[in-house]
Amino acid sequence: MNWAGLYAVLSGVNRHSTAIGRIWLSVIFIFRIMVLVVAAESVWGDEKSAFTCNTQQPGCNSVCYDHFFPISHIRLWALQLILVTTPALLVAMHVAYQQHQEKKLLVLTGHGDIKSLEEVKKHKIRIAGSLWWTYICSVVFRLLFEAVFMYIFYMIYPGYQMVRLVKCEAYPCPNTVDCFISRPTEKTIFTVFMLVTSSICIVLNMAELVYLVVRACTHRGQQNSNPSTRKGSFYGHKLSSEYKQNEINQLLTEQDGSLKDMLRRNPGLQEKGDRCSAC
């Protein structure tokens, strides 16, 4: 299990995300995980071996390194990226659960053929009802984790600049010794880069949150002004099909009565589920 495995797991979630969610996922994988793997890891690769203190006292080097770097930047970023990408799995689990329920319903109503069951897996589920709440929670958790890690980073390494020289007086170092960090400028550049991408991800998450809330309020407003529509519940997409069925019936009321009767008798002739499009 490595970053590629995580990518495989999260690519599936991508289908059920909003457009902003997909952009967020691309930013995470290309500008954070990929940069971490191909560039940053080699910058921090020799951080301990090239950490040099101006002393020959055995043990002083190790103690000073441990004092100034309780946890390496690379490990912090890896933890941050794992925790930030994992809430998306909540959405994946909820979607899987909904699909399972849908399949059960199909089997119960006598449409349990292989083709219909395959169709359930393929269609995109609308972010409505309880799925909306799950999605919102996942975005909130993402935001929370990003903020917490940025704060931890700032606490452990005040300011984001890596200095060339640190003065250390931990036992067994005699008096105060000068210790020199390897590649401080390059580390500062990458720290700033990762910080900027982290901020971009925070902004994208907030935008997605606002977008979802605004969309939900708009839908609510539409539903309130149109009393013939039922409130969305667990099978959001099913009800949208029923809503369309109502529309067709209304449309046909003034038209050919035989056509309307024919459609009522054979609901299968109606267009096959106009599932919700891109959110």
Site residues (vs other proteins, CB under 8 A): 3-4, 6-7, 22, 26, 29-31, 33-35, 37-39, 42-43, 46, 50, 52-55, 164-165, 178-186, 189-190, 193, 247-248, 251-252, 255-256, 258-259, 262, 269-275, 277-278
Q: Among residues 30 and 96, whose Cβ is nearest to other proteins?
A: 30
Supply the minimum distance, in Å, between the C-beta of residue 212 and other proteins: 19
Q: How many CB atoms are closer than 10 A to CB 142?
A: 25
Q: Tell the residue number behind the tokens 């105060």, with chain if given.
A: 176
Q: Among residues 68 and 180, whose Cβ is nearest to other proteins?
A: 180
Residue 201: both structure tokens together: 């991800």
Supply the minimum distance, in Å, between the C-beta of residue 140 and other proteins: 25
Q: Among residues 186 and 200, whose Cβ is nearest to other proteins?
A: 186
Q: Among residues 230 and 272, whose Cβ is nearest to other proteins?
A: 272
Supply the minimum distance, in Å, between the C-beta of residue 59 and other proteins: 16
Helix/strand number for the chain, H first, E second: 12, 3
* Cα dihedral sign, 41-193-75-9: negative
Cis before 58? omega within 30? no
Supply the minimum distance, in Å, between the C-beta of residue 229 and other proteins: 15
Supply the minimum distance, in Å, between the C-beta of residue 57 and other proteins: 12
Q: Among residues 137 and 248, whose Cβ is nearest to other proteins?
A: 248
Q: Among residues 31 and 141, whose Cβ is nearest to other proteins?
A: 31
Identify the CA nearest to 275 among candidates 101, 102, 148. Answer: 102
Supply the minimum distance, in Å, between the C-beta of residue 137 and other proteins: 26
CA distance linking residue 15 with residue 276, whole number of Å? 12
8 A C-beta contact, residue 142 and residue 17: no
Q: What is the 3-state secondary structure (H, E, C) of 25-66?
A: HHHHHHHHHHHHHHHHHHHCCCCCCCCEECCCCCCHHHHHHH
Per DSSP, 267 falls in state: G
Supply the minimum distance, in Å, between the C-beta of residue 185 and other proteins: 4
Residue 77: both structure tokens together: 């970023």
Q: How far apart are the first and last CA of the chain?
A: 32
Q: Among residues 153 and 190, whose Cβ is nearest to other proteins?
A: 190
